[in-house]
A and B are shown apart, each in its own frame.
Chain A
Amino acid sequence: MQLQTGTFITSVIDEKPTLSSAYDKPINAYDEAFTEDRQPRAHWEALLRNISNLSDEEMLDRQRRAQRILREDGATYNLTSDPLTPSVWSLDLIPNIIPTDEWLEIEQGLAQRSNLFDLILKDLYGPQELLKNGIIPSEIIFSHPGFLRQCHGVMVPGAHQLLHHAVDLVRDHAGQFQVIGDRTQAPNGAGYALENRTVVSRVIPNSFRDSQVRRLAGFFQSFKNMLTSLASQWTDTPRIVMLSPGAYSSTYFEQAYLSNYLGFPLVQGSDLTVRNGAVWMKSLNGLARVDVILRRVDDAYCDQAELRADSFLGVPGLLEVVRAGNVVLANPLGSGILEAPALVKFLPAISEFLTGKQLTLPSVATWWCGDKDDLNYVIANLSNLIIKPAIRSHSSNSIYGHTLSEKQKLNTIEKIKKAPHLYAAQSYVPGSMSPIWLNGKIQARPSLLRAFTVANPTGYTVMPGGLSRAGESTKDSIVTNMSSSKSKDTWIIAAEPEAQSNLITDQVLLQDEALQANLPSRVVENLFWMGRYAERAEISMRLLRTIFKQMNGIDPLPEESRRMLLEMASTQTGCLPGFMEADEKLLANPEAELVSIITDGSRAGSVKANLQAMLSCGEQVKEMLSADTRIIINELRDHIHELDRAYTNGLPSAPEESLDSLVTSLLALSGLNHESMLRGLDWTFQEIGRRTERALQTATLLRSALTTPLSSGPQQQILESVLLSVEALISFRRRYRNRARVAYGLDLLMIDGTNPRSLLYQVEQLRKYIRELPRNETTTAGLSPENKIILKSLNDIQLADLEELAKIDPDSQSRLKLEQLMTEFLAQLEQFTVLISDKYFDHTAGPQSLTEAIRGTNV
C-alpha cells in the first residue's frame, strides 16, 4: 500500500513497524481503531499491519472476491421484487474488532437485558404487575398495536418466553456502549453475521487466523438446542420449520441461508395447515406434523383467523394451536410489544421492580411524551433528539430532529401534541467511527452493532460477535437501514485460541435428513416450473437462432420459407398474433416484432419472460440450489442484461450469435442437474417438468412447421430448420444423406428412442419418473390417471405410421393426420400436467373472512 495521506502510513521505529491513523481524528466521536494520539489500539494492531502489507490492487482484488462470493452465495438484500436485479449484500472487508475483556462486560449486560425482557413479556401477558403498580404507564402498553390481547395467558413451555433477541448498540463519544433499540419478534441479522464471517475468513484468511477470533458456531448450536428443547414435552425428534414471509421479503437470503445451516425446511404460510388441533406441513407424502416454528413473520400476520384477516403470510388457526400447546413459536406471538420505544425509559425502574438489580448495560436516554415534563423537554430540545413513534410502520419512521427545518419542527410538535402517549424520544448518539475500505482507501464511518442472544436453560447465550454496520456517507451520520450501509464482520478477540466446534453433530444430522427428505410441495412445484420454463426458453431461443441464420444466409430466402419461419416463431413462443396472417409490410420488416419476441419481458411467452419466470421460481427455492447452480443463475442474469443492451437499438448486427451464451447457460444448468443433483423427489419433479415441456415444445414445432405442405425447396429448408433447432440436423444428414423427406424427419424427431430430443424419448422418461412418485399405487380401479395418459401417448407415438403422417390430404391440402396426432398428443400432455399438479401441488385458495354481519338490533 502506498505511503500517502488517506491510506496507511507505515514507518520503522525501533525496528518495529508502527501504524498511525489513516484518517483524521473524528470530531466528538469514539474512534474504534485508533487512540487519541492516533496510534492503533492494541486489539487492532495485527489486522492493521496485515492490511497495510497489502497493495491497493490486492485490497481491491479481495474486495472483488468478497463481492463475488456473496453473489454466488446468493447473498442479497432485496429491495425490489425484480428477480433480475437483486441488490448484493454489501460487505466491508475490515471487521469491527472488540477485545475480550470489554466484550465480557457487554455479554453480561446483553444476557441481563434479555433476561429482563423475558420477565417483562411474562408479566405483560400474565399478571400485569408492572402496569398495576404503575412501573410502566399502562397507556404505553394498552395503546401499542404489538400488545396482542389474544395472546394473554399463552405461555411457552420451559423457562423462557423470549427465546431470541437482537439488540442494537452504539458507542457514545466516551466509548461506552449504549442500547438504542431491540428486536424481539423475528429478529434478523444473525444469518448475515454468519455469512459475513464466512466470506471475511476466506478473503483475509491470514488476518483471521492471526487474530484468534471467537467462533460463531457455538452460538448457532445453542440456537438449535433451544429450538429442539421447545417441544420436548411431546417429542424428542421435533420437526422444526422456519416460517418465511416469502421470496420477496427483503431478508429472504438470510432465511434461506440460516434454514440450510440449521437444517430446517424453509416454509411459507401456505405450506402449513392447521388440522385436528395441530400444525402440519403439506408435503408430497401428505401432511407432516410440525412441532416448532422459527418465525420470520411479524406477530399480527401469523393467523388470519384471529389476528389480521388481511394477511397473506399466516397460517389460519395457528394461534389456537399455540394456545392448546400443540406447537411452539419462536419468538412467541405478542413479543412485538417489547419493541415499544417508550419502554426503554422505564427499564431501570422495571429492573429494580422485577429483579432488584440495576442494568449494567445502559440504554440511550429516552423520554416518553405521555409524561408532561418529558413532553416539555422534547419540545424544547427537538433538534438534539430522535423522535420514535410508538407504532413502527413503513409510513412512520424515526424523525431525526437535527434534520428538520423550522416548519417541519412545528409540524412534528403539533403531531406529538395530538397524541403524546404515542411518541418517545431518544437522545442522538452519532455512534463510534470505524475504518472502512471505500473508494480505494481507508475512511472513517459511523457504525453500530447488532448483537444477538438466545435462551438456554439457565439464562441467555450471547453470540460472540454480531452484525456491524457502517454508513457509506459521512453526512447522515447514523446508520438507519440496511440499504445505505455496509455491513462488517465483528471480531471478538479471544485471549487464547478457541477449541474448534462443529455445528452439526452426527446425531443431529441423521435426524435432520429424515425430516428434510420431506419437502413442502410448494418447493417441488417451483422446481417443476423451473424445469418447464428453462426448457421453454431454450427451445424458443434455438428456433429464433435458426431463423436468424436462415434469414441472414447467403442466398435470399424464398417468400414461402420466410413466412413459414416467422410464423413458427410466433406459434412457438405464443406471442400472438405476431406474424400469423401478417401483411406483406410486416413480413418485409420483421425486426421490431422479433426484438419484442426476444426482449419484451412483459409479453407472456417471450424469451425474456420465460427466463424471468424461471429465475423467479429459482428465487423461491433458493435454499435448494447448489453453489454451482447459483453461479450459473448469476451468469444467466448477466447474459440477460447483455441481451438487453445488445437489443437496445433493435436487432444487433449478428442476431444469431446474440442468444448463444444464454443457450449455453441453460445447457449448463440442465447438465448440472444431471451430474450433481441427488435423485430425490425434487430432482424427479424438475425432470418431469423438463420432459413434459420438451415434448410439448417439440410437438408444437412439428405441427406448426410441417402441417402446411410447401414446394420442394422451401419444404426442405423448413425441415432443415426444424432439425437445426432441435440439434438434429447433423444426425439427420448422416443417416439419410440428402434425402430430406418429411417422413424421415418425423422418424428422427418422433419415434427414435435414441434421440434425447424425440417425442418418444420424453414420454418414455416420463413413464419411468411417475413410477417413482409417492402415492402412485395401482388401485382396484387400475392405473392412476396420469399413468394411463402417459401410456396412451406412448402408444400413439409408437403406433404412428410415418408415411401416412407425411401424406398430404387432398381435401384440406395439408398433412391432416400429422396435425391431428400432434393436437391430440399436446392435449394429452397438458392434461398430464394438470393431473400431476392437482395431485401433488397445493392449490388451496386463500382463506376468506366470515362476513361480519351479526349486529345488534333492538326494539
Chain B
Amino acid sequence: MRYRVRHITEYTYGAPVSLCYNMAHLLPRDTRNQRCLNQKIQINPPPVYQNDGEDYFGNQTFYFSIQEAHKKLVIDVTTDFEISPLNVLQWQMQSTLTCGQLRAQLSNPNTPELRMAKEYLLDSPQIRCSEDLKAYALSTFTDDKPVLQAALAFTHKIFTEFKFDPASTTVATPLEQVLKQRSGVCQDFAHLAIGCLRSVGIPARYMSGYLETLPPPGQEKLVGADASHAWFAVFIPELGWVEFDPTNDLMPSDQHIVTAWGRDYADVTPLQGVIFEGGGSQQLAVSVDVKRV
C-alpha cells in the first residue's frame, strides 16, 4: 500500500516571537514494514539554522531555529510511504510464549535484546507504574496466558470499557484519572495500556503516527480530517515489538503509519522547544491528511 501523508502544524502567537529553538519529531521513520519514499519539510518563516538527525530510539529528528520576528509558525511535512501488511493472524496463532515465561526471562535476562527491553519496564517521564494499574491488568496477564493473546484481550478490554471522549482529558491528565473516569483519547489509552503492562512486568512502548480514515459511505473525504494517532507495542522475544491499537481494537497492519516510538509521549513530542518574547496566547492548529496514492 502506498500513502501520502501531509501534516501541517500551525502556531499563532498573540505577539511576535523574536527567536525560537525547536526539536521536531515530525518526520516518520522506517520500520520493518514501512519505507519512506519521499520526504519534504517546509517551515515558514524559514529557519536560520536546521539540522536533521536520529534520536536515541532511532527516530528521525528535525531541529530548527528561527531568528526573525514572527506571529505565525507553519511546519508543513509531506511524506510518501510504502507499507506492506503484517501477518498478524499468523502471529496470533503461532506465538505461544506465556506471560510467566516472559517475566522469568526478564528477571534473569540472557540475551542483549532482553536486557535492552528492560528500558520499557521502568517508569518513564509520563508513565508511572502503580498498584491501581496493576490491579486493572493482572487478571488478563496471568502466568499461563500467551503474551500476545493477553495483549490482544487487553486491547479489547480497553476498547470496550473506555469511552472515546476528547473533552474528557488534556495532555496533562494523569493516568490514574483516566483509569478512574474510563474515558480519554488514543494517547490516553496508549499510555494507560503501557502503564498497565509495565505494572504487570511486560515491556511496552509508545507508538506515534497516523491512521488512514475512511469517510462515511457516500461522502467525500475531507482534506485535513485525518489525525495523528497513538497506540502501543509489546516486546515478545520471538517476534520483536508487536503493536496493538486499543482505540480501534485491532493489531495494526498496513493502515497505521508510524512516525516515531519511545517510552511515552514525552520521548516523541511532535514539537518541543522554547520561544522568546511574544507568545502570550499561543494557538495551535494541526491538520493531517492521509491519502492513498
Q: Tell me the A residues contacting B by CB distance below 8 Å.
A: 128, 131-134, 138-139, 142-143, 149-150, 152-153, 274-277, 304-306, 309, 316-317, 320, 323-324, 421, 844-845, 847-859
Considering the complex, which residues of chain B in the window 1-40 have a beta carbon less than 8 Å from any beta carbon of chain A? 9, 11, 20-23
For A856, give its contact among B118, B119, B208 (CB under 8 Å): B208
In which size bucket is the chain B interface?
35 or more
> What is the number of contacts between chain A and chain B, taking CB atoms within 8 Å?
138
Chain B 110-139 against A: per-residue CB contact (8 Å), 1 yes, 0 no?
A: 101001101101110000000000000000
Which residues does chain B contribute within 8 Å of A138, judged by CB atoms? 109, 115-116, 118-119
Cβ of A316 and Cβ of B274 under 8 Å apart?
A: yes
Most buried by A among B21, B171, B271: B21
Which residues does chain B contribute within 8 Å of A856, judged by CB atoms? 185-187, 190, 208, 227-230
Cβ of B115 and Cβ of A854 under 8 Å apart?
A: no
Which residues does chain A contribute within 8 Å of B118, judged by CB atoms? 138-139, 142
Cβ of B9 and Cβ of A854 under 8 Å apart?
A: yes
For B171, give its contact among A128, A306, A853 (CB under 8 Å): A853
Which residues does chain B contribute within 8 Å of A324, judged by CB atoms? 51
Cβ of B21 and Cβ of A305 under 8 Å apart?
A: yes
Kindly report which residue of chain B lies nearest to residue A149, judged by CB atoms: B56
Query: How far apart are the CA atoms of A849 and B272 in the complex, in Å?
Result: 8
Minimum distance in angstroms from A535 CB to a CB of chain B = 33
Cβ of A857 and Cβ of B276 under 8 Å apart?
A: no
Most buried by B among A139, A142, A149, A153: A142
Query: How far apart are the CA atoms of A168 and B211 in the complex, in Å?
Result: 55
The secondary structure that dominates the A interface is loop
For A131, give its contact among B48, B65, B115 (CB under 8 Å): B115
Task: Say yes or no: is B240 at the interface (Cβ < 8 Å to chain A).
Answer: no
Kindly report which residue of chain A lies nearest to residue B284, judged by CB atoms: A853
Query: How far apart are the CA atoms of A103 and B284 in the complex, in Å?
Result: 63
Cβ of A845 and Cβ of B272 under 8 Å apart?
A: no
Task: Say yes or no: is B63 at the interface (Cβ < 8 Å to chain A).
Answer: yes
Which residues does chain A contribute within 8 Å of B53, judged by CB atoms? 323
Most buried by B among A152, A845, A851: A851
Given contacts A320-B63, A849-B274, 18 further A-B contacts (CB under 8 A): A128-B116, A133-B112, A139-B118, A152-B55, A274-B21, A274-B65, A305-B22, A316-B274, A323-B53, A848-B274, A850-B22, A850-B274, A855-B170, A855-B187, A856-B190, A858-B186, A858-B247, A858-B248
**Contacts A320-B63, A324-B51 hold; do A306 and B122 have CB atoms under 8 A apart?**
no
Cβ of A305 and Cβ of B23 under 8 Å apart?
A: yes
Cβ of B116 and Cβ of A845 under 8 Å apart?
A: no
Q: Tell me the B residues contacting A by CB distance below 8 Å.
A: 9, 11, 20-23, 48-49, 51, 53-57, 63, 65, 67, 109-110, 112, 115-116, 118-119, 121-123, 164, 166, 170-171, 185-187, 190, 208, 211, 213, 227-230, 247-248, 267, 269-277, 279, 282, 284, 286
Which residues does chain A contribute within 8 Å of B270, judged by CB atoms? 854
Cβ of A304 and Cβ of B274 under 8 Å apart?
A: yes
Kindly report which residue of chain B lies nearest to residue A154, judged by CB atoms: B53
Kindly report which residue of chain A lies nearest to residue B277, judged by CB atoms: A845
**Contacts A305-B273, A852-B272, A858-B186 hold; do A139 and B122 have CB atoms under 8 A apart?**
yes
For A854, give its contact among B22, B55, B57, B271 (CB under 8 Å): B271
For A142, give its contact among B110, B119, B272 (CB under 8 Å): B119
For B109, give its contact among A134, A304, A421, A852 (CB under 8 Å): A134
Which residues does chain A contribute within 8 Å of B227, judged by CB atoms? 856-859
Cβ of B269 and Cβ of A852 under 8 Å apart?
A: yes
**Contacts A850-B275, A852-B171 hold; do A858 and B229 have CB atoms under 8 A apart?**
yes
For B282, give its contact among A305, A850, A859 (CB under 8 Å): A850
**Contacts A277-B49, A305-B273, A850-B273 hold; do A858 and B286 have CB atoms under 8 A apart?**
no
For A845, give its contact among B51, B247, B276 (CB under 8 Å): B276
Query: How far apart are the CA atoms of A550 and B81 in the complex, in Å?
Result: 90
Which residues does chain A contribute within 8 Å of B121, judged by CB atoms? 139
Kindly report which residue of chain B lies nearest to residue A303, judged by CB atoms: B21
Cβ of B48 and Cβ of A149 under 8 Å apart?
A: no
Query: How far apart are the CA atoms of A351 and B50 in the complex, in Å?
Result: 40
Cβ of A851 and Cβ of B282 under 8 Å apart?
A: yes
Query: How far apart are the CA atoms of A857 and B225 in the complex, in Å?
Result: 10
Minimum distance in angstroms from A178 CB to a CB of chain B = 30
For B275, give its contact among A133, A153, A421, A847 (CB under 8 Å): A847
Cβ of A150 and Cβ of B273 under 8 Å apart?
A: no
Minimum distance in angstroms from B16 CB to a CB of chain A = 13
Query: How far apart are the CA atoms of A275 and B48 in the complex, in Å?
Result: 9
Cβ of A858 and Cβ of B164 under 8 Å apart?
A: yes
Which residues does chain A contribute within 8 Å of B22, judged by CB atoms? 305, 850
Which residues does chain B contribute within 8 Å of A844, judged by CB atoms? 276-277
Minimum distance in angstroms from B262 CB to a CB of chain A = 9
Which residues does chain A contribute within 8 Å of B23, judged by CB atoms? 305-306, 320
Query: How far apart are the CA atoms of A686 and B127 in the complex, in Å?
Result: 53
Query: How far apart are the CA atoms of A686 and B276 in the complex, in Å?
Result: 30
Query: How far apart are the CA atoms of A153 and B58 in the complex, in Å?
Result: 11
Which residues does chain A contribute within 8 Å of B164, judged by CB atoms? 858
Cβ of B276 and Cβ of A847 under 8 Å apart?
A: yes
**Contacts A138-B115, A305-B21, A305-B274 hold; do A855 and B49 have CB atoms under 8 A apart?**
no
Most buried by A among B54, B116, B267: B116
**Contacts A845-B277, A849-B274, A850-B274 hold; do A855 and B63 have CB atoms under 8 A apart?**
no
Minimum distance in angstroms from B195 CB to a CB of chain A = 15
Cβ of B274 and Cβ of A847 under 8 Å apart?
A: yes
Which residues does chain B contribute within 8 Å of A853, judged by CB atoms? 171, 284
Query: How far apart are the CA atoms of A139 and B114 in the complex, in Å?
Result: 11
Cβ of B116 and Cβ of A131 under 8 Å apart?
A: yes
Minimum distance in angstroms from A327 CB to a CB of chain B = 13
Cβ of B67 and Cβ of A275 under 8 Å apart?
A: yes
Give 19 CB contacts A-B under 8 Å.
A131-B115, A132-B112, A134-B110, A139-B121, A150-B55, A275-B67, A304-B274, A305-B274, A309-B274, A320-B65, A844-B276, A845-B277, A847-B275, A852-B269, A852-B272, A854-B270, A854-B284, A857-B166, A859-B211
Query: How far apart are the CA atoms of A156 and B38 in the complex, in Å?
Result: 33
